[in-house]
């Protein structure tokens, strides 16, 4: 068999495997949105069966036979060509998959399905004791997965690498420490400024139907295609890229506040636009995938914070919001802007402001590393969580619901995921700084309701590139330098220095 024939067989196999993964994604979306309460046990069985099929396809010996035929062939001469990228990513995925026994792959899927269902019932009931055995099972399986994948230094590294290719805990620690020091300093200066917004202006009566209509209109204006997506409600907002023409987002509502629903929709729309902008004519092959969760997160965090909390953005959209929400009619733009950008340590990560958000992430990163090292048990997790919350943010959760049980990630087995949020914040500030250099003043564009230029830039530079570049290489190609937390630090100091009158 020649390399061209081998490549076509790999493409065909890859697409068939992707269809199974897409079916699993659809079942997972339904489990978190519309499934009847009594349907979870059956859904777990469906997902386990598909996980077994998917694992067999991902570890099919034919892949191991075909890859050597295409590796080193003329298809790989240009390392950035579509064919070379697919071959590179097939090799990576195959080598990771064959290290995981089918039993472990199936058990991980079962534990995630059961754990998530248990979390959705236990969290609102503040029932840690019921949920804990599920999490203990998940953590033990993730430790087994790390051992199976192998690592040089940290058992955490192979799990992190699954979300952010090429990253290690040791590489992230100095970046996170630089960021932590800057954030703590800025937070202390803000708290000492004596200036506070009137946050009551964004609390009141904000009907869910009106919130959904406004947030959907804004997301569409930014570029999220509702003909290729939809908005639903879930316990924890998320985005699911089912396939071409089907990228779904969710939110949750709090009718006494404007902030929670709106910014969740914009965040998820940022993810959605990335998925909709991928090179879909290559769907089913690795090239048509986000290269990492950090890059993916850079899109959601950019739209949610750097764009949708900015003055230019609200110069355009605020009159529309005032026309729709009675409780905003007497609130001035500057007072509204200050309120939606209020810096106030809070218990909930998804509701955290830009200054304190990454402290929430660093807390979770540290606990995950300790769990994988076996330096921390799941039973001791609530106390460890509360101690760090007190040390980093000056708050102690009153219960499990708003403490250790608040995130869906651990219940679904997504250990290693959290650092990608902070990487996404770092990337987003660096990317937007480059966009301003190339496009001109982005804020002026936003104030006129012009999003095509920015979205087009993101589509060309990031979305359409799929998995061509590894994350750090992509940052370097776009900005000419390695990832640099100083862009985020400078942005935060400039923005919040102005809002809180910090000077300097």
Q: At what angle do helices 381-393 and 354-373 cross, to 10 degrees?
A: 150
May I ask the CATH class of domain 169-499? Answer: mainly alpha
- Per-residue pLDDT at 1: 86
Question: Among 19, 295, 29, which Cα is nearest to 166's?
Answer: 295
pLDDT of the residue at 504: 56
Task: Give CA–CA dist 336/149, Å, rounded.
Answer: 49
The dihedrals phi and psi of 309, each to the nearest 5 degrees, come to: -110, 15
Q: Are the C-beta atoms of 253 and 211 separated by less than 8 Å?
A: yes
Q: Where are the beta strands (DSSP E) in 19-72?
A: none
Instruction: Tell me phi and psi for residue 240, to 5 degrees.
Output: -130, 115
Structure tokens at 277: 């902008």
Strands (E), 116-217: none
d(CA 124, CA 120): 7
Q: Which residue from 362, 360, 404, 396 is spatially nearest to 380, judged by alpha carbons?
A: 404
Output 86-90 pairs: Cβ under 8 A, ≥24 positions apart.
86/10, 86/11, 86/14, 86/285, 86/286, 86/287, 87/7, 87/10, 88/286, 89/286, 89/287, 89/289, 89/467, 90/10, 90/14, 90/63, 90/286
Contact (CB, 8 A) for 104 and 144: yes
Q: How far apart are CA 244 and CA 284, in angstroms?
A: 10
Q: At what angle do helices 102-122 and 128-149 cross, to 10 degrees?
A: 160
What's the chain's length in residues?
504
Residue-level pLDDT at 369: 96
d(CA 352, CA 162): 26
Catalytic residue numbers? 268
All structural domains of the chain with their residue ranges: 3-150, 169-499
Phi, then psi, of 154 in degrees rounded to 5: -115, 135
pLDDT computed for residue 378 by the predictor: 98
pTM over 0.75: yes
Contact (CB, 8 A) for 297 and 424 = yes
**Nearest 5 degrees, angle CA 362-CA 434-CA 237?**
45
Is 231 in a helix, a strand, or coil?
A: strand
Name, in order, each residue with C-beta under 8 angstroms of 415's C-beta and a sequence gap of 6 or more: 138, 139, 142, 159, 368, 371, 372, 409
Quote the pLDDT of residue 470.
96
Task: Please give the full DSSP string across 273-317, using - where no structure is assigned.
Answer: HHHHTS-GGGTTSGGGS-S-HHHHHHHHHIIIIIITTSHHHHHHH
Question: How far, in Å, CA of 442 to CA of 146, rounded?
Answer: 43
Return the structure tokens found at 176: 């996170």
Per-residue pLDDT of the chain (504 residues; tens, 9 = 90+): 899 999 999 999 999 999 999 999 999 999 999 999 999 999 999 999 999 999 999 999 999 999 999 999 999 999 999 999 999 999 999 999 999 999 999 999 999 999 999 999 999 999 999 999 999 999 999 999 999 999 999 999 999 999 999 999 999 999 999 999 999 999 999 999 999 999 999 999 999 999 999 999 999 999 999 999 999 999 889 999 999 999 999 998 888 988 888 999 999 999 999 999 999 999 999 999 999 999 999 999 999 999 999 999 999 999 999 999 999 999 999 999 999 999 999 999 988 999 999 999 999 999 999 999 999 999 999 999 999 999 999 999 999 999 999 999 999 999 999 999 999 999 999 999 999 999 999 999 999 999 999 999 999 999 999 999 999 999 999 999 999 999 999 999 999 999 999 975
């Amino acid at each position: 068999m020649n390399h061209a024939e081998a490549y076509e067989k790999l493409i065909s196999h890859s697409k068939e495997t992707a269809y199974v993964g897409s079916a699993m994604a659809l079942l997972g979306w339904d489990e978190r949105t519309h499934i009847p309460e009594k349907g979870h046990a059956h859904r777990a069985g469906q997902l386990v069966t598909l996980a077994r099929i998917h694992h067999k396809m991902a570890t099919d010996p034919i892949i191991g036979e075909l890859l050597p035929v295409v590796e080193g062939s003329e298809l790989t001469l240009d390392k950035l060509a579509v064919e070379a990228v697919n071959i590179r990513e097939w090799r990576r995925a195959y080598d990771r998959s064959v290290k995981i026994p089918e039993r472990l792959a199936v058990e991980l899927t079962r534990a995630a399905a059961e754990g998530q269902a248990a979390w959705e019932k236990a969290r609102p009931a503040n029932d840690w004791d019921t949920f804990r055995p599920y999490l203990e099972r998940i953590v033990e399986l993730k430790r087994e997965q790390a051992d199976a994948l192998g690592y040089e230094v940290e058992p955490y590294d192979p799990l992190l690498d699954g979300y952010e290719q090429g990253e290690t805990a040791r590489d992230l620690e100095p970046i996170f420490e630089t960021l932590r020091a800057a954030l703590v300093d800025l937070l202390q200066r803000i708290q000492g400024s004596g200036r506070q917004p009137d946050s009551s202006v964004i609390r009141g009566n904000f009907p869910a139907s009106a919130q959904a209509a406004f947030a959907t209109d804004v997301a569409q204006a930014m570029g999220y295609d509702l003909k290729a997506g939809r908005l639903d409600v879930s316990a924890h907002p998320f985005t699911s890229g089912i396939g071409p023409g089907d990228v779904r987002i969710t939110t949750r509502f709090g009718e006494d506040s404007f902030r929670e629903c709106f910014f969740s929709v914009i965040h998820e729309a940022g993810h959605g636009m990335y998925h909709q902008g991928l090179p879909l004519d290559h769907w089913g092959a690795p090239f048509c995938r986000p290269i990492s969760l950090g890059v993916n997160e850079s899109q959601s965090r950019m739209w949610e914070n750097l764009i949708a909390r900015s003055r230019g953005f609200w110069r355009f959209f605020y009159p529309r919001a005032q026309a729709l929400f009675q409780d905003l009619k007497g609130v001035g733009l500057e007072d509204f802007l200050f309120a939606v950008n209020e810096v106030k340590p809070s218990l909930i990560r998804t509701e955290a402001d830009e200054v304190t958000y990454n402290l929430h992430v660093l807390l979770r990163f540290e606990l995950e590393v300790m769990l994988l090292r076996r330096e921390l048990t799941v039973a001791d997790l609530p106390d460890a969580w509360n101690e760090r919350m007190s040390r980093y943010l000056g708050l102690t959760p009153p219960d499990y619901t708003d403490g250790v049980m608040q995130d869906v990630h651990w219940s679904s087995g997504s250990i290693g995921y959290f650092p990608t949020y902070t990487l996404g914040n770092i990337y987003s500030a660096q990317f937007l700084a480059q966009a301003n250099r190339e496009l001109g003043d982005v804020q002026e564009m936003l104030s006129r309701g012009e999003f095509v230029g920015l979205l087009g830039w993101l589509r060309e530079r990031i979305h359409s590139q799929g998995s061509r570049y590894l994350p750090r290489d992509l940052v370097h190609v776009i900005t000419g330098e390695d990832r640099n937390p100083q862009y985020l630090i400078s942005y935060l100091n400039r923005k919040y220095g102005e809002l809180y009158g910090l000077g300097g």
